[in-house]
Every structure is written in C-alpha cells, then in structure tokens.
A and B are shown apart, each in its own frame.
Chain A
Amino acid sequence: MKKFNFKLIAFFLATVGLLIFLHFFGVLRPLESGFQTIFNPLASFFQSGGASINLFFHDQIARGEFSEKIRDLEGHLQIAEAENASLKRLEEENSSLRQHLKFFSERKDSRYVMANVIASEAFSGVSENVGDILIDKGVKDGVYEGLVVLNGNGVVIGKIYQAGERTSRVVLTVSSRCRLAAGLQNKNHTVGLAEGNLGLTIAINFVPQAEEVKIGDNLVTSGLEPDIPAGLFIGKVSDVYRGSNEIWQKVTAEPAANLDNLIIVSVLLPR
C-alpha cells in the first residue's frame, strides 16, 4: 500500500484555503468572469441539448398511455422528431424570444434583460438548491437579488436569489426559498405571501379566515415588494382549506408557467 502523503495534503489544503480567501476578497473575480464569458455560451448549448432530450423523453412517456393506433403513428413521429431535433430546439428558442418580445412590447414602460438558462441545479437530492436554475446574466447586466424572473408569456417563474458577476441563480416559484408578495384577483383583492411548497405548488400564507377565496382565482404579484410591479401572473388557486381553529386559511396555488425545460427567461428590471 502506498504511504499517505502528508506534505501533499498540507499543500493542497493551503491551496484551497488561499483560493477561498482570494475568492471572498474578489481577487479571483476577473478569472471567474473570464471563464464564464468563454464557457457560458457552451453551457447554454449543453443545457438546451439536455433540455431537448428531456422534452423528447417526456413526450415518450406521455404517449405511452395512448391507444395502439396512436402508438403506430408515434413511431413515424419519433423518426420525424429525431430528424428535426436540432431544428426544433432552434424553433423553441425562436418562439420563446418572440414571446418575450411580444410581452414586453405590450408593456413599453418595462425594462428587462433576457437571459439564457445555462444549468438546472440537480446535482444532489439533499441540497435545497435542487430545482434552481442558473442564467447567463449577472450584476454586470444590471441583475441583482430580489428581481422577478418571467417566462415568454410574462408569467412569473421565480426570483433572483443570488447574482454573480455574469451568472445568477433563480429560485423557482415552487421553491420554499422563493417568497413573493402576492395578491388574489378575487372580490376583496386579498393579499398574502406566496411561498413555494415542497418544489411542487405555491402556498399563499397569511390569508385571513374572513376572506372569500375560490379555487381558480388568479394569483398575481401585489406590488408591495420593491422592484416587483403589481399584476404579474403567478398561478391559479387549486385548494382552499379553512380549519376551524386556524387564524389563517390554507390556500394553495398551482404555478401557471411550465417550470421544466426553460430555455430563455426575462429578468424584470426596476424602472
């Protein structure tokens, strides 16, 4: 057996310590920024490649439930899909870009920055960061923590959680770390705090018992948070529970946006 090399381990730990120190004092920022400038386009390309495979497999599973005739047709469709895979990806990007432009051309007073999704965090089942997405825009593009992130239809998909120099981390609306001042489009325009629930749904907290909330009510941003305007669509109420001994109602909403396979998103900047 080989002897344990204490010298190497000591030198290694000193190097790691030094790198951590230099990172926190910003000395490594040009290096990190340079790396990201070079590799972010590649990361975006890899991400959309993976997303295309994801989409392809997702389609496969859904179609498995159809009748035999549809399965026959599916065979033909698969061949066509495989042939058009790269074209489809470009089309999706194109359509997403057009949607974004359409949404913002209707809201001429809005400032925004469009970003490519470069990674979805999925490296561990334990980490609370699972489900977060990384985008290729950061502080240098005017992005900072707390800004709202939208999809091509102007639906809220999450918030900026951490902004780096050239990349940012977005927590999706279903994440427990995503908290949004929200309101319901019901009779009383009830306000509450929308908070992700188990990575699946959105819980609307602090809704008093007296408020009349119905399944299907729209959940929108309330405008009570700085830099996030009112009226941005988040989702629809899917469940309402009024416990007799509770102060607040338990209101649950489903996100309106499809949070899988995000390719291009927009970060809404303050006016």
Chain B
Amino acid sequence: MMVKFFWYLLLFSLLAVWQISFAGSLPWYLREINFFIIFLVFFLEFSHDNLFWWFLFAGFIFDFYYAAPFGFFMIFLPAVFLFAKFLSLNFFTNRSLYSCWGLTFFAVIFYYFVFYGAFYAIKFSVGEPLFILEKKFWLSLLLAIILNLSVSSLVFYFFGALSDRLKPFFIVKGNK
C-alpha cells in the first residue's frame, strides 16, 4: 500500500513537472501533446485504480507553477479524469485501438472546451472574444487531436507489443 502510494506520488510529480517544463519548451507545433491525457487513456485501459485524488495532486502542482487562478487545475484535471473514466466505463470498454482513439479524441475535446471555456468565463468581464469564434482555438484543437491521436497510436502499438491485453483493432465478431 505504502509502496504504491510513493510510486504514484513520484509518478504524478514527474508527470506534472514533465508536462510543465518539457512539453512547454517543445517547438510550437508539438506543444499540444498532452502527456496527461495519453497517460490517462492508457492507465484506464490497463488498471482499475482510482486516480481521482492523484489528479487533484497533479492539479495542485500545476496551480503553484502556473499563473491561472489558484485552484483552477485542482478542479480541472480531476474533471478530465472523471470524464475519461465515464467514457471508458460506459462506451470504450474493449481495449482496442479504436477505443484508445475514441478516448483520446473525446478527452482532448473535453480538455480544450472546458479549459478555453473556463478562461473565457474568467475573462468575460474584460471583453475577451468568444473562444469558439477564434480561428486559433480550432487550429490548436485540430493540431492537438492529430498529435495526441498519433502519439497514443504509437504508445498503443508499443504496449501492444509488450502485452496481449490490448486488441489490435475492433473486437472480431464471435471472438471472446
């Protein structure tokens, strides 16, 4: 139990620092890679551990590094986790490449809409233009979807080679 606790503590600390420092310093067209979403998708495929509180911890780290209103990431990251878990439990249950793509696709869309929406709400009084009317938002979203789907496909085949728990594509009829 304690070993698991320290393992998660280290994993989430490293993942948060990696996302903040490494992903942020990549060339602009690679910055939309979201290691948290990719980690989350594969974690949901492999494990049933409840990471809700660990996402809160990661949000706490994000909050004291980033300048968003303190508490924003502590709510936002667990919300992403809950959304992805909901999809994983109810719609994408078969550990196939398509379920991995589906989870990544919807998690990225949820992440972007909630993130941009929340910042729009925070800055509503400043008269910031509605984010969905901005070309930049749609381009970033498109880039994020393409990048994260590509990275998750690579990771899927990497894990597929290591483990037989992932199915290459959709479940074949009659295959149990």
Contact = CB atoms under 8 A, between A and B. Distances in A.
A57 B22 contact: no
B21 A47 contact: yes
A125 interface: yes
B141 to A, nearest CB: 9
A147 B113 CA distance: 36
A167 to B, nearest CB: 7
B24 A124 contact: no
Contacts of B86: 2
Interface string B13-36: 110011011111111101100000
B97 to A, nearest CB: 25
Interface string B97-133: 0000000000000000001100110000000100100
A49 B22 contact: yes
Contacts of A23: 63-64, 70-71
Most chain B CB within a 10 A radius of its CB, from A23, A32, A46: A46
A49 B30 CA distance: 14
Contacts of A51: 25
Contact of B23 (A19, A44, A50, A134): A50
A257 B115 CA distance: 32
Interface stretch (A103-111, A113-121, A189-197): A113-121
Interface in B136-153: 136-137, 140
A44 to B, nearest CB: 7
Interface residues of B, number: 42
Given A35-B61, A49-B22, A129 B66 contact: yes
Interface in B31-80: 31, 52, 56, 60-61, 63-68, 70-71, 74-75, 78
B139 to A, nearest CB: 8
Contacts of B63: 23
Contact of A125 (B21, B25, B89, B137): B137
Given A20-B74, A126-B120, 20 more contacts: A12-B78, A19-B74, A23-B64, A42-B17, A46-B21, A47-B21, A48-B25, A50-B24, A50-B25, A51-B25, A57-B27, A120-B24, A120-B25, A121-B66, A122-B25, A123-B23, A124-B119, A126-B119, A126-B131, A169-B67
Please give me the 6 A-B residue pairs with the lowest Cβ-Cβ distance, nearest first: A50-B25, A46-B21, A46-B22, A43-B21, A20-B71, A47-B21
